[in-house]
């Protein structure tokens, strides 16, 4: 049996009744966290550009947009996926290096609203979507990640699986959905060199392409049966050291969604280890620029591939600068959404401290990646004192978790454009999603509050 068939069998046969209570509870937190980022990103200029584009192109009013109004399910997945990624506060899975919520949930949400499915069915679709994309990501990482943005490439498989589940496709149709998803998988890291808007295409198109793949399969549209393991398939084309066993090992016995991590800093996850340490230090021993001689940040190679930027010139680029994020966290004591702005970008003290930040690879930390996303920071003071701090797991990892109360507070903060009573009601509804007979009721309420 091919890998697509194995995954299709898993997607088809997994039911809500198969999900342990802790998996259901955790999945609802992932969905709540998705809405936090989606609301926060809805008004950002690149998302508004995508929103204007899809409205100009037209579409049946099938699903709600977080930007307001309705459009086709494919366009809704596109806009809502882009919106939930742009503020850099969406979830992340260490082993696969995927932000699954921003791809799987907008695709599933659009279909769930359109087809008026239950909260239980929606939860189940999200679980299988996360499972599929995480397994693909684990199979091709870490070499895939050097050129390819895993959220865009591997995430496409997850969105297709979630939509196929909601459409109740046959195993054969699900396999074709996976095949069409794989041939559309794309998303290159080159955007990071310019701080370009292109990154928002990645989750938006991955969500949209998953919708397209499953809807075409439903009509009998066929796809490569061995899109993953074939001689000219995903693995051979896009990874130097893939491990196909990651796709099926323990499939159906474990639930990878509970390995998910949540973000509290509004920057690339590869900066969070150092930021956590600097925020802690700012509380323990407040330091001034004049106190510091040098800061050494040692971490894993992948973090430097993405975030070694000692002169970011845009707000977005600053979120991918380990030097900037380290200096910001120490001097300001925070790394939340409002911390990244034009004032902090060109803050003279932050810029001066950045010049004192050296980044390098630590062999032991590098060897532990991606199981651990660690960092060691040494702050050398002018009085001769050296402060050393070490982190194996950034805040929000399962090994260093946030609470459900933390995530509700995050939602209340990021969705602050909505009235407080609306936010309270919506968060309560999301945390009791399994009791909802029709997901469209949730989105009809949300639609009324955003227009």
Q: What is the CATH number of domain 3-263+408-450?
A: 1.10.4100.10
pLDDT digits (tens, 9 = 90+) for 196-243: 999 999 999 999 999 999 999 999 999 999 999 999 999 999 999 999
Helix (H) or strand (E) holding 349: helix 348-354
Judge whether 30 and 101 are in contact, CB under 8 Å.
yes
Residue 443 confidence (pLDDT): 79
Query: Which DSSP symbol is given to 90?
Result: S
pLDDT digits (tens, 9 = 90+) for 151-198: 999 999 999 999 999 999 999 999 999 999 999 999 999 998 888 999
CA distances in angstroms from 356 to 218, 351, 353, 402, listed in the order given? 57, 9, 5, 31
Mean of per-residue pLDDT scores for the chain: 96
Tokens in use for 285? Answer: 């021993």
Mean pLDDT of 256-274: 97
pLDDT digits (tens, 9 = 90+) for 103-113: 999 999 999 99
Q: Pairing relation of β-strands 70-71 and 63-64?
A: antiparallel
Helix (H) or strand (E) holding 64: strand 63-64
Helix (H, G, I), strand (E, B) or coil at 84: coil
Residue 192 confidence (pLDDT): 87
Domain 3-263+408-450 and domain 269-391, same fold? Reply is no
Mean pLDDT of 334-354: 95
CATH architecture of 269-391: 2-Layer Sandwich (3.30)
Q: Please determine, for residue 449, whether its predicted confidence score (pLDDT) is greater than 70.
A: no
Mean pLDDT of 384-412: 96
Residue 85 confidence (pLDDT): 96
DSSP 95-143: TTTB--HHHHHHHHHHHHHHHT--HHHHHHHHHHHHHHHHHHHHHHTTT
Reported confidence tier of residue 448, pLDDT bands at 50, 70, 90: very low
Residue 346 confidence (pLDDT): 97
Residue 397 confidence (pLDDT): 96
Domain range annotation of the chain = 3-263+408-450, 269-391
């Amino acid at each position: 049996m091919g890998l697509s068939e194995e995954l299709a069998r898993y997607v088809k046969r997994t039911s809500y009744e198969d999900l342990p209570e802790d998996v259901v509870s955790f999945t609802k937190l992932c969905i709540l966290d998705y809405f936090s980022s989606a609301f926060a990103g809805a008004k950002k200029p690149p998302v508004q550009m995508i929103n204007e584009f899809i409205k100009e192109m037209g579409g049946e009013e099938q699903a709600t947009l977080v930007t307001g109004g309705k459009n086709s399910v494919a366009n809704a997945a596109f806009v809502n996926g882009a919106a939930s990624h742009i503020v850099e506060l969406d979830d992340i899975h260490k082993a696969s290096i995927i932000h699954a919520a921003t791809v799987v949930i907008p695709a599933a949400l659009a279909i769930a609203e359109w087809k008026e499915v239950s909260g239980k069915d929606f939860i189940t679709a999200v679980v299988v979507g996360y499972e599929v994309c995480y397994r693909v990501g684990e199979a091709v990482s870490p070499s895939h990640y050097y050129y390819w943005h895993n959220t865009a490439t591997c995430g496409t498989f997850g969105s297709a699986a979630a939509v196929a589940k909601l459409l109740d496709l046959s195993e054969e149709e699900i396999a074709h959905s996976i095949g069409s998803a794989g041939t559309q998988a794309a998303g290159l890291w080159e955007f990071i060199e310019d701080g370009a808007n292109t990154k928002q295409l990645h989750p938006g198109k991955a969500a949209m392409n998953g919708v397209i793949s499953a809807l075409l399969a439903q009509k009998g549209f066929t796809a490569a049966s061995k899109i993953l393991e074939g001689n000219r398939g995903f693995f051979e084309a896009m990874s130097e050291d893939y491990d196909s066993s990651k796709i099926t090992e323990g499939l159906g016995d474990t639930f990878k969604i509970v390995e998910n991590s949540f973000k509290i800093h509004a920057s690339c996850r590869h900066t969070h280890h150092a930021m956590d340490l600097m925020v802690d230090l700012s509380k323990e021993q407040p330091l001034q620029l004049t106190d510091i001689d040098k800061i050494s940040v040692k971490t894993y190679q992948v973090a430097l591939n993405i975030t070694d930027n000692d002169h970011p010139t845009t707000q977005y680029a600053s979120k991918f600068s380990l030097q900037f994020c380290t200096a910001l966290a120490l001097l300001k004591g925070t790394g939340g959404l409002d911390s990244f702005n034009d004032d902090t970008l060109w803050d003279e003290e932050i810029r001066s401290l950045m010049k004192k930040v050296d980044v390098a690879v630590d062999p032991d930390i590098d060897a532990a990646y991606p199981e651990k996303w660690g960092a060691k920071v040494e702050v050398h003071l002018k009085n001769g004192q050296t402060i050393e701090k070490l982190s194996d797991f950034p805040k929000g990892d399962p090994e260093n978790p946030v609470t459900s109360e933390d995530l509700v507070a995050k939602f209340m903060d990021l969705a602050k454009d909505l009235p407080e009573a609306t936010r309270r009601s919506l968060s309560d509804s999301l945390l009791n999603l399994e009791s909802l007979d029709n997901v469209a009721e949730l989105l009809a309420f949300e639609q009324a509050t955003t227009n």
